[in-house]
Chains A and B, each alone.
Chain A
Amino acid sequence: QSVLTQTPSASGTPGQRVTISCSGSSSNIGSKYVYWYQQLPGTAPKVLIYRNNQRPSGVPDRFSGSKSGTSASLAISGLRSEDEADYYCATWDDSLSGVVFGGGTKLTVL
């Protein structure tokens, strides 16, 4: 059971907009920065969004992040086949004194 809650799966057709949510508590999302990672099959995770809504250079602006209270969201617009991957949210948890991850969301592009 992960500390951060994500829906296990999501799907969309090419060109659509998809949103992945991440729910936590005051000791983690509510008071800390949220990161989002993309993990393509057979590869290491890569940061997509850092500090709630910042995109590293090289990440398309189709990807955006937001945070409100104890929840965060990753939005992917203009869905493409290469976006099919696992997506994880993460943040620091003050109560646990450690990094916590969501269980991951498997995105399927239909």
Chain B
Amino acid sequence: EVHLVESGGGLVQPGGSLRLSCAASGFTFSSYGMSWVRQATGKGLEWVSGISTSGGSTFYADSVKGRFTISRDNSKNTLSLQLNSLRAEDTAVYYCARGAAEIDYWGQGTLVTVSS
């Protein structure tokens, strides 16, 4: 069974940084592209970033380009998202998801709150 477990969320001040992690199990991690998708409270889903199987190709939404960095460690079955220069509008639940262009499984999410 596919399992995706996010961690690393929390409260951070505007301008601060946070690193999210996603532990994957139940499938061959290195064979799948991966994504991060976020959802602000009461709002819709917003794709944030995606990464290819090897990590050689990365993709970002314009709203986070230059501030967020996606990476993966296939030896540890782990996906990461480094969040820098955080803004209030980055406050959301961040979901780890399997698939870069076609998302078929989601984690339960981790909450990031940007507030002073």
Binding site for B on A (CB under 8 A): 2, 32-33, 35, 37, 39, 43-47, 50-51, 56, 86, 88, 90, 92, 97-104
Contacts and interface: CB of A to CB of B under 8 A. Distances in A.
B32 interface: no
B108 A44 contact: yes
B107 to A, nearest CB: 7
B101 A92 contact: yes
A98 B60 contact: yes
B35 interface: yes
A98 B50 CA distance: 8
B96 to A, nearest CB: 10
Name the prevailing secondary structure of the A interface residues.
Answer: strand
A98 to B, nearest CB: 5
Interface stretch (B13-21, B41-49, B71-79, B80-88): B41-49
B59 interface: yes
Interface residues of B, number: 21
Interface in B67-116: 95, 100-109
Given A2-B44, A101-B44, A104-B44, A51 B102 contact: yes
A47 B103 contact: yes
A50 to B, nearest CB: 6
Contacts of B11: none
Contact of B59 (A44, A86, A98, A104): A98
Given A99-B35, A99-B50, A90 B45 contact: yes
A102 B100 CA distance: 17
